[in-house]
Amino acid sequence: MPDAIIFDVDGTLAETEEVHRRAFNETFARMGLLWHWTGADYARLLTTTGGKERIRRHMDETGAPPTDVAMLHAAKTERYVQLIAEGQIVLREGIGALVVAARRAGLKLAVATTTSRPNVEALARAVWGRSASEVFDVIAAGDEVAAKKPAPDVYRLALDRLGLPAARTVALEDSRNGLRAAIAAGIPCIVSPGIYTRAEDFSGALAVLPEFSALGGLDGLAALLERHAA
């Protein structure tokens, strides 16, 4: 059994990306920018992790006039938090049960995400009715590290705060960038792709599952890790 499970947030705990996309588009319109990201645009842009980085890429690609990215992104976060609070989202299949079982078994729970802390708080409040720090022992967020996924920084920060070696933990992810980040930090990683990441290459993953419910709970998780270690 691992000592800790480290969860990605967007696409893993819940299918949040369409809420992110809506928050981006509503914010662009409210700020008077004639920008709009369709689902196809967003699928492409998502390979750049981080909202601010994604906005900068859009400006580079379209030659849009310079915009205050930090201000724009802060407004997007505010809108995203509102939308999540309005109850737009549910946990992905298997996540709720896994969190309960892991807590009961005394495992530590952590988050390693590209998104920022207010978005993790909003999600925890909406789906568990609790603050994120009541659900997770450790939260490592994108704005706390120098480089976002696929860099290992946010996973290393989570390990540091857990006080555990990588091999005693397991990561759950939905994307290739997330998988690469976990692997680069030496953490075994299980993937269940989300709506935007189904076609990605997950080589190096311990397992690729249709949903996290297919893991077979903590026993299934322990069996997978044992096979990996053998």
Tell me the catalytic residues: 8, 10
State the binding string over 148-187 for ligand XBP (x if CB under 6 A, else -).
Answer: -x-------------------------x-xx---------
CB nearer to ligand XBP: pick between 57 and 103: 57
Among 2, 50, 152, 193, binds ligand XBP (CB under 6 A): 50
11 part of the interface to ligand XBP, by CB under 6 A: yes
Identified binder of Mg ion from the candidate list 17, 121, 153, 174, rule CB under 5 A: 174
200 binds Mg ion (CB under 5 A): no
In sequence order, which residues have a C-beta less than 8 Å from that of residue 70 and are 6 or more positions away?
52
The stretches of 46-111 forming alpha helices (DSSP H) are: 51-62, 69-85, 95-104
Q: Tell me whether residue 9 or residue 206 sits nearer to ligand XBP (CB atom).
A: 9
Sheet of strand 138-140, all strands in order from the earlier edge strand to the far edge: 138-140, 108-112, 4-7, 169-173, 189-191, 207-208
Residue 174 tokens read as 């939905």
- What span, in angstroms and rounded, lies between the C-alpha atoms of 83 and 80? 5
Handedness of CA 4, 9, 11, 16 (dihedral sign): positive
Give the residue carrying structure tokens 């601010």: 52
Among 25, 116, 169, 192, binds ligand XBP (CB under 6 A): 116
Indicate whether 175 belongs to the interface with Mg ion (CB under 5 A): yes
End-to-end CA distance of the chain: 14
* CB nearer to ligand XBP: pick between 81 and 218: 81
Contact 171, 188 (CB under 8 A): yes
Please report whether residue 27 would count as binding ligand XBP according to CB under 6 A. no
Binding mask 130-169 for Mg ion (x = CB under 5 A): ----------------------------------------
Do you find a cis peptide bond into 150, omega within 30 degrees of 0?
Answer: yes
> CA dist 140 to 144, 213, 214, Å?
7, 24, 26
Residue of 49, 117, 164, 169 interacting with ligand XBP (CB under 6 A): 49
113 binds ligand XBP (CB under 6 A): yes
Applying CB under 5 A, the residues found at the interface with Mg ion are 8, 10-11, 174-175, 178
Applying CB under 6 A, the residues found at the interface with ligand XBP are 8-11, 17, 20, 49-51, 77, 113-116, 119, 142, 149, 175, 177-178
